[in-house]
Structure 1
Amino acid sequence: MIADTTPAVQARAVARACRTATLATLMADGSGRPYASLALVAFDLDASPLLLISRLADHTKNLTADPRVSLLCDGTAGFAEPLTGPRVSLLGRAERTDEPQHRERFLRRQPGAAMYASFQDFAFYRVAVNRAHIVAGFGRIHWFNDYAFEEDTAALAAAEADILAHMNDEHTDAVQLYATHLLGKPHGGWRMCGIDPEGADLLRGSDETGYELARLPFEQPVLDADAARAELVRLVKRARTTD
């Protein structure tokens, strides 16, 4: 994992590992009451949350009237006592996006959503986070403003599709090794569905059986194809020496 363990880095690691989040909005009926719902989530390269939601849903009606939202990303799965596990609350404004890259990143992580992504009542949204809160364990609780990854991700974004195609078509054995030897996941069916400066996302499953996501963290941030290649090579070498 990246050595810099600031609250922002920890928060992005927790968030990026989630496929769902609790979405909180303010009711559009004038009452000002909070409303929480479950949403599928993906993340832009800078870790900004991406949503695909229907205008018929209450949460979309709410954020259309008031774009202020909060997302709870829950990393407590597997903890015997959930309150000892990490979780992150992201506060910001939801803005509709027609950026093709946002659509592609979302659907690679959430392939089951492809069946309704083109419906007229559905649209993609990006949440611009301006404040965040992390509970990383007992006594490790922080509010902070600098959540997003701030370095330029344009070069990596431009190379992402080629990197994924290369890994999934030419190096399927390496992707399986990442999942099984480095992340302790069961063997079989893993594909790389996303890459960002801080790690790669691995996915397996189907619409019928459901999907499982695994997060492969990088030791150092990568900002272009060459740096990504070097880090992926380093990780596969490490995986081959891990029993």
Structure 2
Amino acid sequence: MASPRPCGLSASRRVHTIKGNNRRYGSFRVGGSSHFSRVSCSSSSSSSPSPSSGAGGGGSAAFRPSTAPSSTGNGSVPPTDTTASATSSSSALTSTDAQFGVQLLDKLLDLPTCAQAARNLVVQAQWGQLATTMSTQHGRRAGYPFSSRVAFAVDNDGCPLLSFRPLYTHPRNLRSDPRCTLSVSAPGWSIGASRSVTVTFFGDLYELPQNLQEPAHQEFAQKLGRSKVGCQTASTYWRMHVINDIYFVGGFGTLEWVDVGEYLRTRPDTIVEEHFLEAVEYLNKSYSDKLTRQLEADATTVLSVDARGFDVLCRRGNLTKLERFAFSAHACSIDDVQSNMAMLDFK
């Protein structure tokens, strides 16, 4: 089976390069210059590959908190953390206009696979858009889709966990038909916003048994903060036991059905799982002005960070763009992020 294609980009992009020593990045070798620093998600149209079915098995029936030992519970190989730290010499930031194909840009930018990007995203985000089918209890509205914004968490397998009050519409719909979709967007972007990064789960959502309600509650408290969930004693927790399909929309020209088995075997990057908020806060506090000058923008905000780089929301007048900066070495700690940023020479 061919290896999964990393999150790609459309053919025409403005690529910024970091000049440095001759190094090897994966299977792609660059001499004298390593073209790795930045690419922008421009407003030009991107290619849309026809979706091929990515259906696969779902998560295990038993809920396991995300702090549990890594295993998928469905006979698959335990996931491993792919992040690694490394060092490199100082470098200067330059830019070039280039025309590259999708596969070449994937190698140049060291982008994560779509499964890895989706796994990171569900750890970063706290809110999603849940759509269920109206049950016969709703009379003439039966059969119509019903969608609303919901808070969510994920367990160790990456399966979504949701919380509902007894009188909410969604649990009544799900007891009649467990099929649903959950769309999760990158923090700082709204669902459906132009060029936003979104992952959509197609699956079956079931109420957890009584003995697993408390572990699910603790998982919510860990992700959302105890002040937000501490008073929800009347809430019940639900889990997407079966994930049938995962659709990933990348902010860099990617539209792809993700293999469910690969997603369940993938672990989020260490920097995302353990230091995400701290890393984003550090980048915004220490580099906001420098990024704004470098990108010649009116304002910039770092939205997310992963082992391979970080994404910046860039505003120029009425135009909003997503910019991607790639690290010279994979980062799994705040120290690694600081080391990578120290290598860049800003304007």
TM-score by length of 1: 0.61
Partner of 1:236: 334
Deviations 1:65-95 (A, max 9, x none): 111111011127359x932121111111112
Partner of 1:135: 249
Matched-pair contact (CA < 8 Å) for 1:76–1:84: no
Matched-pair contact (CA < 8 Å) for 1:76–1:86: no
CA separation of 1:92 and 1:185: change in aligned 2, threshold 3 A: farther
RMSD between aligned alpha carbons? 3.5
CA separation of 1:61 and 1:177: change in aligned 2, threshold 3 A: closer
The unaligned stretches of length 5 or more in structure 1 are 154-163, 168-173, 187-213, 220-232
Q: Does 1:150 align with 2:265?
A: yes
Q: Does 1:117 align with 2:223?
A: no
Q: Does 1:217 align with 2:328?
A: no
Q: Between Structure 1 and Structure 2, whose CA radius of gyration is higher?
A: 2
Matched-pair contact (CA < 8 Å) for 1:177–1:240: no
The unaligned stretches of length 5 or more in structure 2 are 1-81, 84-109, 287-302, 309-330, 343-347
How many percent identity over aligned positions? 21
* Distance (whole Å) between structure 2 residues aligned to residue 16 and residue 151 of structure 1: 12
Partner of 2:8: none
* Distance (whole Å) between structure 2 residues aligned to residue 185 and residue 35 of structure 1: 40
CA separation of 1:60 and 1:136: change in aligned 2, threshold 3 A: same
CA separation of 1:116 and 1:28: change in aligned 2, threshold 3 A: farther
Matched-pair contact (CA < 8 Å) for 2:200–2:248: yes
* Distance (whole Å) between structure 1 residues aligned to residue 116 and residue 276 of structure 2: 24
* Distance (whole Å) between structure 1 residues aligned to residue 127 and residue 266 of structure 2: 26
Higher relative contact order (CA 8 A, sep 6+): 2
* Distance (whole Å) between structure 2 residues aligned to residue 22 and residue 176 of structure 1: 22
CA separation of 1:236 and 1:77: change in aligned 2, threshold 3 A: closer
Task: For 2:143, give the aligned amino acid.
Answer: G
Greater per-residue helix proportion? 1
Matched-pair contact (CA < 8 Å) for 2:119–2:267: no
Q: Which of 185, 191, 194 matches 1:83?
A: 194
How far off is 1:185 after superposition? Answer: 5.3
Q: Does 1:60 align with 2:180?
A: no
* Distance (whole Å) between structure 1 residues aligned to residue 257 and residue 220 of structure 2: 27
Q: Which of 268, 278, 284 matches 1:184?
A: 284
Runs of 4+ in 1 over 4 A off after TM superposition: 1-4, 174-177
Partner of 2:88: none
CA separation of 1:109 and 1:138: change in aligned 2, threshold 3 A: closer
